[in-house]
Structure formats: structure tokens, C-alpha cells
Amino acid sequence: MELKIIDSYIENLYLYNFEITKKQNAYLKNKVRTINTKTGEVLANIATVESKQKEYIKTTEQKVNALVAIAKSKDLQPIFMTLTLPSKFHPFRTLKDGKIIENKNYQFIKLEYAIEDGYKELKKIYRVFYKRVKNFSKEIYFIKVTEPHKSLIPHMHILLFVQADLLPIVKHLFFKVCKENKLQRVDFDESLLIDNIENATGYVMKYVLKTLNSKDEYFKNWISGWRKKHKIRACEMSNLAISVEVYKKIYYNLPKEAKANIQKEIKEKNQSFFEYFIENCEVHQTIINYKEFDMDEE
């Protein structure tokens, strides 16, 4: 495979994202119509793909803040890890002098197959590792960010929070699963954020914003196409006491005065809205058993 194939594929991803975005904006424009009942005037719907993406970034940061705060309150240790796929997924390799050559171990006919199968493989490797860690403790939280190499093959950055006494076990399990899957380029750093866990939020968001909110419009659009085309999730996290959907329903339906009062309180406590809602809200589920009703009763 020649390097120019990568450039060509990036151009296709950019065009793919352009077309998908155009369709999504058309859908959002027609999804909700606000009508002035007195004049009959149809008001424009301001929702766009760009506004939804900004909302996603803001919500992600809120949830990351909440998760880090919970980990800190439980005195959990942060570990930063990177998973990179085995040699067979990489079309190129870089020599010590910086020269890029074709990788003879590459096993895919098409680049898109390597990307999609590679993403599945990364998720499988992480899932095995995570389940093994869970055998030793249920008190674990994670944040995962997936992004592409220059070759467009995905790799995964992971911030894991565990009990300090589990560090040796977690490290052993991590390198064990890496060895089983013949992973050569990996990273495991338990000291990166140990002195200041508050930096964890900024550290994670650096990776999220790098690809979702880049000032380089061409880069931002082709990488968005890369995610959409190959169904790759930018950022994944542990479930918290309230879901993102519940958080958004509460946040966007708060009266202005209530939101302003909460804003003042969380600023004093150095909290996020997500943290505040977790502390002060309960989610109840109502299940209706229709068998209890006689639907044929007149």
C-alpha cells in the first residue's frame, strides 16, 4: 500500500462527512417546527450538527468532571494506558531514521477493513482486560478515547481509576493481555496524574477536543467522517448514577432562575452540573404491567 492511498482515503472521508452532515442538518431542520399560532409563521429550528457537537463536547466535559470527582472522593488511583494494535493491522512501519516503509505483516486487502476490524479488536482486548480487573474489585471507573494513527488505524487511550493497593495486579493484568495479543507499542503510566488528580479532566479533554473541536476544519471534518463511516465512538465512560440523557433533560428544562442559583452554588464548590445532579437527584423507573388491565373492558 502506498502512502498516497491514505491521502486519497482521507479526502473520501472528508467528502463522506460533508454529505452526511448535509443530510443530518436537513433532518434536524425539518424535525421540529415552531409555529406562531397567531400569525401562522414557521420559526426556524436552530439545531444543527455543529450545535449538537458543541452540546456533546460540553456534556462530555461535565461527565468527565463528575467521574473524576467521584474517583477522588473514593481515593482511587488514576492510571493512564494506551492500547495499539498488533503489527498485522498496520500498513506501514517507521524505521529509527524516520523513514516510512510498507509493513510486510499487514494482512488486509482494503484499508477500511483494517480500520473496522482493528476497532473491534481494540474493544475486545480492552473488554478482556477490564473483566479481569473487575474480578478483583468493583470499584473501578474508566474513560476511553479512540483516535487514529496517521495511517488511520485506531488506537485507544484509557484513563482507569482503581484502588491503590490494586496497582500491581492491574499492571500485571494489563501486560498479560498485551502479551497474549502480541501488542508491542503500549503505554502504562501510574504516576502521570498521581500528584494532581484534578488534572485528569484536562488531560482527557485534551484528547477529546483535539479531534472534535480542532481549529483545522479539514482535519476536524475528515476525522468526523472516519468516526461516522466506521462507527467509532470518540469517548466512552463508566456509567454514573444518572445517564447523559437524564442529565440533559434536567439541565435543558431548568428554569433560568433555578439554573442561575445552581450555577452560583457549584462555582463555590468547584463542581459541575453533572456532579450537582448526581448528589441532589434520584432517578425512579415506573414499570407498567399491562396484563393488570383488561384491555377489552368496555
User: For residue 158, what are the contacts with CB-CB under 8 A and spacing of at least 6?
Assistant: 80, 81, 82, 83, 126, 142, 143, 144, 145
pTM over 0.75: yes
CATH code for the part of the protein at 3-237: 3.30.70.1910
Residue 196 confidence (pLDDT): 65
Domain range list for the chain: 3-237, 244-280
Residue 295: its pLDDT value, please? 45
- The values of phi and psi at residue 158, to 5°, are -130, 130
141, 67 in Cβ contact below 8 A?
yes
More confident residue, 93 or 83: 83
Q: Provide mean pLDDT across the span 66-82.
A: 89
Segment 103-124 mean pLDDT: 95
pLDDT tens-digit series, residues 15-60: 999 999 888 888 777 765 555 556 656 555 566 778 888 888 888 8
Q: What is the mean pLDDT of residues 97-110?
A: 89
| pLDDT at residue 179 greater than cutoff 80 | yes
Distance, CA of 156 to CA of 144 (rounded, Å): 7
Integer Cα distance of 181 and 179 in angstroms: 5
Confidence grade of residue 242 (pLDDT, cut at 50, 70, 90): confident
E strands present in 191-293? 235-237
Q: What is the pLDDT of residues 139-162, one digit of tens each?
A: 999 999 999 999 999 999 999 999
Residues 189-241: pLDDT tens digits?
887 766 666 677 777 888 878 877 788 889 999 999 999 999 999 899 998 88
Which amino acid appears at position 237 of this protein? M
Q: Rounded to whole angstroms, how far apart are CA atoms 161 and 167?
A: 10
pLDDT, tens digit (0-9, with 9 covering 90-100), for 76-92: 989 999 999 999 999 99
Q: What is the pLDDT of residue 34?
A: 58
The position carrying cell 477536543 is 209
Which of the two residues, 272 and 130, has the higher pLDDT score?
130
Query: What is the structure's pLDDT at 287?
Result: 57
Residue-level pLDDT at 248:
86
- List pLDDT tens digits, range 256-289: 898 899 999 988 888 888 888 888 887 766 555 5
